[in-house]
Amino acid sequence: MTRVLSYLNAVGEALRQEMQHDPSVVVFGEDNIGGTGCDGKLGNAWGPTQGLHEHFPDRVFDTPITESAFVGAAVGAAATGLRPVADLLFVDFAGVCFDQILNQAAKLRYMTAGKARVPLVLRAMYGTGMRRGAQHSQALYPLFAHIPGLKVVLPATPADAKGLMAAAIRDDDPVIFFEHKMLYFSHGDVPEEPYVVPLGQARVTRTGGDCTIVALGRMVAEAEKAADELVADGVQCEVIDPRTISPLDTGTIYDSVRRTGHLVVADESNPRCGVAGDIAALVAEHVFDALRGPVRVVTSPHAPVPFAPVLEDAYAPGADQIKAAVRTTIPVLARQEHAS
């Protein structure tokens, strides 16, 4: 049975169902219960873990502000029989515990020739839009996708948020799970029963023969809006949401580009050494012969995220930039654009 659920509650429902399903799943982070050590009531978590402790009082924990210790504890617990879901809060805070992610979680399996497995999920809130400034708004997923041994997941819809979280928890490798803060209160149809959206399978959100738009996270909705508006120009875009960037479903992207001959990548992250550039390079390397126009990437600029609303709104890309990029990659439209 399906009903409308928010992205935030979809993540929460996946956590609850997976904890029900598997007693080795534990959940912890700062204020994941909210209220431990206080005289008032428990249950002051802000995010998807709200209320979880009532169902599983022995498997949900508040942590002190000790990211190195508790992210590392997630690695150690994962290597010794648990399936921890640790919460970084803002992905920006990976800065204080990156060793445990980069050198411990990602490498333990390889360094032990496969004797270790590290089935952990690290939840990480990301993205612009909430006026939180440069240290609480980054879209840092390319950093993690760069590291062999980690998987990187970016759900764009409530249904995917639930299914990908379930898949991430059941997965035997370390998964960094990116939750866009501005998507938390977006709503969509979500099945009630437990289900899994496999990691590494892109979703084609709409089909079209003129241009492929690969969009990540919050950019998926922006790409769909752009695609809607481009119909007026007689342009049918195909929108692909990779859903996970490591592993990356290159097959779906290549097949689409072979049919459309054009590619735009929309990525909220910064442009240098990022996912957009990576996808552009992969397409250039593997399906160059199919390209009939330049590949365009739409990203945030090479600058920190600003605070003032007018600046932040100018920072993150959106439907208008995606539309403009599609127009300039299709030669006939580019000529019209130039002429006008």
The residue assigned the tokens 């497995």 is: 117
The answer to whether 6 touches 184, Cβ cutoff 8 Å, is: yes
| Binders in 65-124 for other proteins, by CB under 8 A | 66-82, 84, 96, 99-100, 103-104, 108-117
Q: Which of 21, 53, 55, 136 is catalytic?
A: 136
Q: In what order do the strands lie in the sheet with 296-298?
A: 203-206, 237-241, 211-215, 263-266, 296-298
Q: How far is the CB of 32 from other proteins (least distance, A)?
A: 13
Q: How far is the CB of 316 from other proteins (least distance, A)?
A: 31
| Binders in 252-291 for other proteins, by CB under 8 A | none
d(CA 133, CA 239): 30
- Kindly write out the interface string for residues 309-328 of this chain, putting x where it contacts other proteins by CB under 8 A and - elsewhere: --------------------
- Kindly write out the interface string for residues 180-209 of this chain, putting x where it contacts other proteins by CB under 8 A and - elsewhere: --------------------x---------
Binding test (CB under 8 A) with other proteins, winner from 39, 40, 58, 338:
58
136 is catalytic: yes
d(CA 88, CA 65): 10
Q: How far is the CB of 12 from other proteins (least distance, A)?
A: 21
How many residues interact with other proteins (rule CB under 8 A)?
A: 48
SS3 101: helix
The distance of Cα 62 from the centroid of its chain, to the nearest Å, equals 24
d(CA 326, CA 334): 9
Q: How far is the CB of 19 from other proteins (least distance, A)?
A: 12
d(CA 62, CA 34): 7
Q: How far is the CB of 147 from other proteins (least distance, A)?
A: 10
d(CA 91, CA 165): 17
Q: Which two tokens stand for residue 206?
A: 């709409």
Q: What residues does 190 pair with on adjacent strands?
A: 3
Does 35 engage in binding with other proteins (CB under 8 A)?
Answer: no
Amino acid, res. 251: G
Binding test (CB under 8 A) with other proteins, winner from 151, 180, 218, 296:
151
Residues identified as active-site: 136
Interface ranges with other proteins (CB under 8 A): 24, 26, 58-59, 61, 63-64, 66-82, 84, 96, 99-100, 103-104, 108-117, 148-149, 151, 171-173, 200, 247
